[in-house]
Structure 1
Amino acid sequence: MKRKLSKLQITLRRTGAVSVLLVFCGSMFSLAYMLSRWFYRTHHVSWSDYILQLINWGLGLLFIVVMWMIIGILVLPKQRKVWNEMLDALRRIAKGDFNVVVDEEGRYDGQIGHIAQSINEMTQELKQVERLRQEFISNVSHEIQSPLTSIRGFASTLQRADLTVEERMHYSAIIEKETTRLSKLSDNLLKLTSLEADEQHLELRSFRLDTQLETIVLACEPQWLEKELELDLALAEAEIVANEELLSQVWVNLIHNAIKFTPVRGSIKLTLAQTQEHTIVCIADTGIGMTDEDRKRVFERFYKGDKQRTRTTEGSGLGLSIVQKIVDLHQGSITVESRLNEGSIFEVRLPRKAE
């Protein structure tokens, strides 16, 4: 890795280059003066001092030009090699080869070295983007292939003539469930793409956040009543300026996850409080919790955690990615604390005043 130069080092290098150039020009003029004086001593001339001085200057300039051409001829092949190496690297990058490294030995210095370093940094960033793209395509293909395989298998089974009415109804319900899963995956992908678009513009308005949370909890009542969960609400009155529809998706996702991963007769606590600068929402559950590795990666796209613990739950692994993106768009933050088999606490902090 080429180390960066300080401003003082760059200034000293430039000063040194100017000094070398001045010494070079002075040497050429001195050589011209000595040669002309030798010529004048061996050959009688009757020119005026002004003419002699002009001849000295002209001869000095001629020596500078000749020596510069000689240096150029000697150095040009090396410069051509440097530029050819960089052009070849750019051609390989344009064709999708991001394993290119320019000046791996650190031979180039100055401006050429900075250009080589910039190309290497660009290559590393493109390699990272390509890795994420391939991973994203692989995950999407896997998520789509699973329900399609089920639909194809059960549709083929439905063609059997010996099935009872109950069996046909059962298989039809599975096909309907898998198509719903595909539809939800498609919606989430479109939603995430829309949120990540550069032109995404939030339509902000003032509304009561405590009222929104109460409404969502009531809408989820069939799910938490079915599991006999205890819900504890501690919601302070809170006015907030935000996009109401997008924040609704945040709370729906977090509350649904809390219900999904909390066992029967567990509990969920939802709190809302405000400080001078922030509005804070906490959703705590007594569910299965997460390992440290899962906690660090829980907001990654398609990440579903330990497959042994989540095999009985469904989902595409996009929900929390969407949650984090919505919170980021509101200039807020979301964190999670969790211990395995001891539950999780998701905390969302939003600024009270929109920026």
Structure 2
Amino acid sequence: MNKRKRTGRIALALLISGIVFLTNTIAMLLTIVAIYGLARLGVIETTGGQVGLPELLRFFFYTSLVIGFLLASLTGKIILKPIKRIIDQLDRLASGDFKTRLHFGKPIADHPTFKQVEKSFNRAAEELDYTEMLRSDFINNFSHEFKTPIVSIAGFAKLLRRGNLTDEQKEEYLEVIEEESLRLSAMANNVLNLTRVENQTILTEVTRFNLSEQIRGAVLLLAEKWTPKNLYMDMQFGEHMICANEELLKQVWINLLDNAIKFSDPNGTVSVDISDGSECLSISVSNHGKDIPKDRIAHIFNKFYQADESHSSEGNGIGLAVVKKVCELHGGAVSAKSESGTTTFTVVLPKQQNM
């Protein structure tokens, strides 16, 4: 907790304590005034102009009890009003109303702690609203992308079933069916991978393996994608070992390399570089092509987000979300930079895992 937050919470505690103290003080003063007034009116018996001790204690007790209750009810409503507002807005948020926002009235809104509560709540609501919008877009886009290959497979399967086709036509139709089947498989795997890593909170199956060899293997797996674009895969790095979940980390390189290949200009270069630090390895994947707009680069690791809003390129906004989650599970991080026609994704991972 930083110093500013700690100071704000101390100030809030002092404010509430001050209100309680002030309430008690006012209750006592009003009680004394009430007793004095009752004594002057003769309601309380006096002896020689003095109020008897038993009567004084009895009236002081009952009068302070009544006045204290009334003041506590009044100040309690004032103190609990912002809390009630928070509860009401949380209920709206829980019911799915992500457009709701929290705003306190004066003078509470000027207090640093309530300012922080208001800011945090509204930021959370905005993120939920944004994620819901992306989720809705994802469902629409994914449904469309999922339906397209199914229609293609069904259509070409019907043509094959009718017969009267040349060997070239059969080969062409079978190739389309195979490609569309692989496309469906890739989309399903992405969704399953995201679900799997999101539900995983503890890193398991950690082994020591050659990270350099794993990345080279991922490049070979994607050869059918970078070969038609005549891309040069620049991998001038040495051998580096790491302790990690091999299967999960494999998804990181496949997603980052696939992304780099997809958005590279033809005849360009995709570069992979590994820097060896004292405790961490830094892996960079770069490609040359159109820059990612600065207003979108902050969102590319969000679920369902696609920087290419036209959806002209393949993808469903899941791959980079998987990359981020896997890196976090390993105690690492991933970042992106895009400028001057070069986009670079950098992954930083610890060499060892604390088990």
TM-score for the superposition, normalised by structure 2: 0.73
SS at match of 2:195: helix
Alpha-carbon distance between aligned partners in 2 of 1:120 and 1:178, rounded to the nearest angstrom = 47
- Corresponding position of 1:337: 337
User: 1:144 maps to which residue?
Assistant: 143
User: What letter is aligned with 1:25?
Assistant: M
- Indicate conservation of the 8 Å contact 2:297/2:336, yes or no: yes
> Residue 151 of structure 1 contacts residue 175 of structure 1 at CA under 8 Å; is this kept in 2?
no
Q: Return the letter of the residue paired with 1:339.
A: E
In structure 1, what is the Cα distance between the partners aligned to 2:266 and 2:128?
42
Matched with 1:257 is 259
CA deviation profile, 1:82-105 (whole Å, cap 9, x unmatched): 998777666655543455567753
* Partner SS, residue 207 of structure 1: strand
Q: Which residue of 1 aligns with 2:4?
A: none
Moved more, 199-208 or 236-245: 199-208
1:242 to partner: Cα distance: 1.2
In the TM superposition, what is the alpha-carbon distance from 1:60 to its structure 2 partner? Answer: 2.4
- After superposition, the Cα gap between the structure-2 partners of 1:168 and 1:183, relative to the gap in structure 1 and judged at 3 Å, is same
**1:196 corresponds to:** 198
SS in structure 2 of the partner of residue 235 of structure 1: coil
Query: 1:125 is matched with which residue?
Result: 124
Alignment deviations for residues 46-83 of structure 1 (CA, whole Å, 9 cap, x no partner): 9xx9x921122212223324444666788899899999
User: What RMSD, in angstroms, separates the aligned Cα atoms of the two structures?
Assistant: 4.5
Q: How does 1:16-35 map onto structure 2 within 5 Å?
A: 17-29=20-32, 31-32=34-35, 35=38
Letter of the structure 2 residue corresponding to residue 139 of structure 1: F
The letter for the 2-side match of 1:53 is L
SS at match of 1:202: coil
Distance change (3 Å), C-alpha of 1:295 and 1:163: farther
| Larger CA deviation: 153-162 vs 239-248 | 153-162
Measured in 2, the distance between the counterparts of 1:99 and 1:293 equals 22
In the alignment, which residue of structure 1 is the partner of 2:182?
180
Residue identity in the other structure for 1:143: F
* TM-score, L = length of structure 1: 0.73
Match for residue 299 of structure 1? 301
Which of 183, 186, 209 is the matching residue for 1:207? Answer: 209
Match of 1:280 in 2: 282
Distance 1:217 1:77 in 2: 65
The percentage of aligned residue pairs carrying the same residue is 24
Could you report, residue by residue, the CA deviation over 1:194-238 in whole angstroms, capped at 9, with x for unpaired residues?
A: 111154433222222223233333444555444443333322232
Q: Supply the distance in 1 between the matched residues of 2:80 and 2:10 (Cα, whole angstroms).
A: 29
Aligned to 1:267, which of 266, 269, 273?
Answer: 269
Deviation at 1:127, TM superposition (A): 6.0
**Equivalent residue, structure 2, for 1:229:** 231
CA apart distance, 1:191 = 0.8
With over 3 angstroms needed to count, the CA separation of the structure-2 counterparts of 1:162 and 1:15, relative to structure 1, is closer
State whether residues 261 and 287 of structure 1, in contact with CA within 8 Å, keep that contact through their aligned partners in structure 2.
yes
1:239-258 alignment, distance < 5 Å: 239-258=241-260
Kindly provide the amino acid, as one letter, of the partner of residue 350 in structure 1: L
Structure 2 Cα separation of the partners of residues 130 and 192 of structure 1? 20
CA contact (8 A) 1:98 1:124 kept: no
Q: How many residues align?
A: 345
The gaps in structure 2 that reach 5 residues or longer are 1-6
Equivalent residue, structure 1, for 2:17: 14
User: Is the 2:287–2:342 contact (alpha carbons within 8 Å) kept by the matching residues of 1?
Assistant: yes
- 1:29 deviates by 3.8
Distance in structure 1 (CA, Å) of the matches to 2:322 and 2:46: 94
Q: CA deviation at 1:269?
A: 2.8
Q: Give, in whole Å, the separation in 2 of the partners of 1:230 and 1:75.
A: 73
Judged with a 3 Å threshold, the aligned counterparts in structure 2 of structure 1 residues 156 and 75 are, in CA distance, closer, same or farther, namely same
